[in-house]
């Protein structure tokens, strides 16, 4: 019988998707950054994100406030990935009996700070016991602006894949923390990610942008989710990637090169979009003028294959999966 190690996180999700019933009010169910639901006469966006001690965070590498911020920011990023307006947040906390209340208060303060920065309110949650380690599960609720939502499934053949900002810094920051390297910009990128909320709303407001997702598991892997959801292929072009300045002098251990961190490092919470090729240059210029960060073309969608290829090679196995070695 297959185990999670065989099918991986995304194989499991594909199976669960066949079991889940769908119906009235479900505009988009399992498979996008948020579910899109008709509720109470309007449309809402909802997503949850679980974070586990020593998997997603370590109390030895971050303060409780930093842990709270990062876990909340990763959840909020899924509202940004739809182009939505974040509104409310709930948080479930599981922790061992002997956890210091001061730790939990500070953790909650970090969550509340991230919510406040996103103009959200923390409106509830759950608290329960864990035999080992702290776990957080953060649910975020948001709404579309002027009815515009960008799904993962809207990419068209010929569209260009573009990414906001400079991915790779978060994974490098984690290396720096673990190896005790002094790299404040990278460590800040890892511990204090800023969900691209305004950027997502700006992109969703433009007809020439056809699909969007956030980069949580790694650029190549999340780009693959856009291609797969859209039922087409992607020619990922690593030669178009720039290694961010903060990464250029950074030589992580274990033989991993900066460009690998850019392509496969997760937790940057940048946005990837599929853009009409005729409009991309102008869009990128306007984006950079508005937000002071690049919107860089790094691939082209194609109908010649399904999923991601890099220089003719299938790249479906590149990226982070919680259950694979």
Q: In Å, how far from its chain's centre is CA 17?
A: 20
Among 28, 32, 33, 261, binds Mg ion (CB under 5 A): 33
**Residue 53 bridge partners (DSSP):** 57
Q: Indicate which of ligand ADP, Mg ion, none lies near residue 13 (CB less than 5 to 8 Å, by partner kind).
A: ligand ADP
Cα separation, 308 vs 221, in Å, equals 8
Q: Which two tokens stand for residue 28?
A: 């988009």
User: What does the chain come to in residues?
Assistant: 325
Residue 170 or 280: the one with the smaller Cβ distance to ligand ADP is 170
Query: Is residue 264 near ligand ADP by the rule CB under 6 A?
Result: no
Residue 74 or 280: the one with the smaller Cβ distance to ligand ADP is 74
Among 32, 78, 199, 321, binds Mg ion (CB under 5 A): 78
- Count of residues that interact with ligand ADP, criterion CB under 6 A: 9
Q: Which residue is nearest to Mg ion (CB)?
A: 33
Cα separation, 258 vs 249, in Å, equals 9
Query: Is residue 16 near ligand ADP by the rule CB under 6 A?
Result: yes
DSSP conformation class of 152: G
Q: Indicate which of ligand ADP, Mg ion, none lies near residue 16 (CB less than 5 to 8 Å, by partner kind).
A: ligand ADP
Among 66, 153, 170, 216, binds ligand ADP (CB under 6 A): 216
* Min CB(38)–ligand ADP separation in Å: 17
User: 6 φ, ψ to 5°?
Assistant: -75, -45
Cα separation, 93 vs 125, in Å, equals 8
Cα separation, 189 vs 31, in Å, equals 27
DSSP conformation class of 277: G
Query: Is residue 55 near ligand ADP by the rule CB under 6 A?
Result: no
Site string for ligand ADP, 65-94 (x = CB under 6 A): -------------x----------------
Query: Is residue 290 near ligand ADP by the rule CB under 6 A?
Result: no
Residue 79 or 258: the one with the smaller Cβ distance to ligand ADP is 79
Query: Is residue 32 near Mg ion by the rule CB under 5 A?
Result: no
Q: Which two tokens stand for residue 23?
A: 């119906």
Q: Indicate which of Mg ion, ligand ADP, none lies near residue 32 (CB less than 5 to 8 Å, by partner kind).
A: ligand ADP
Angstrom distances, CA of residue 251 to CA of 183, 240, 248, 256: 11, 21, 8, 8
Q: Which residue is listed with tokens 């039922």? A: 231
Among 214, 217, 268, 270, binds Mg ion (CB under 5 A): 214
Cα separation, 267 vs 177, in Å, equals 15
- C-beta separation of 101 from 51 below 8 A: no
Residues engaged in binding Mg ion (CB under 5 A): 33, 78, 81, 214, 216
Residues engaged in binding ligand ADP (CB under 6 A): 13, 16, 30-33, 49, 78, 216
């Amino acid at each position: 019988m297959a185990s999670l190690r065989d099918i991986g996180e995304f194989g499991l999700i594909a199976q669960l998707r066949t079991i889940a019933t769908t119906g009235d009010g479900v505009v988009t169910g399992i498979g996008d950054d948020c579910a899109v639901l008709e509720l109470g006469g309007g449309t809402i966006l909802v997503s949850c994100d679980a974070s586990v001690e020593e998997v997603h965070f370590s109390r030895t590498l971050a303060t409780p406030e930093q842990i709270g911020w990062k876990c909340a920011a990763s959840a909020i990023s899924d509202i940004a990935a739809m182009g939505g307006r974040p509104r409310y947040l709930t948080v479930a906390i599981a922790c061992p009996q002997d956890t210091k209340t001061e730790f939990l208060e500070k953790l909650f303060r970090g969550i509340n700070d991230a919510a406040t920065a996103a103009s959200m309110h923390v409106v509830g949650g759950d608290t329960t016991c864990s035999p080992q380690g702290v776990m957080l599960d953060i649910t975020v609720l948001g709404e579309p602006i002027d009815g515009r939502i960008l799904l993962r499934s809207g990419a068209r053949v010929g569209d260009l894949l573009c990414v906001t900002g400079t991915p790779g810094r978060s994974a490098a920051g984690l290396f720096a923390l673990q190896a005790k390297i002094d790299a404040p910009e990278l460590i800040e990128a890892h511990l204090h990610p800023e969900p691209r909320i305004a950027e997502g709303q700006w992109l969703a407001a433009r007809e020439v942008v056809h699909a969007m997702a956030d980069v949580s598991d790694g650029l190549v892997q999340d780009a693959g989710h856009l291609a797969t959801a859209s039922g087409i292929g992607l020619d990922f072009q690593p030669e178009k990637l720039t290694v961010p300045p903060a990464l250029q002098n950074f030589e992580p251990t274990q033989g991993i090169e900066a460009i690998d961190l850019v392509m496969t490092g997760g937790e940057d919470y940048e946005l990837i979009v599929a853009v009409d090729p005729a409009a991309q240059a102008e869009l990128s210029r306007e984006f950079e003028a508005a937000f002071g960060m690049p919107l860089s073309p790094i691939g082209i969608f194609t109908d010649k294959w399904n999923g991601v290829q890099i220089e003719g090679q299938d790249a479906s196995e590149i990226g982070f999966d919680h259950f694979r070695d």
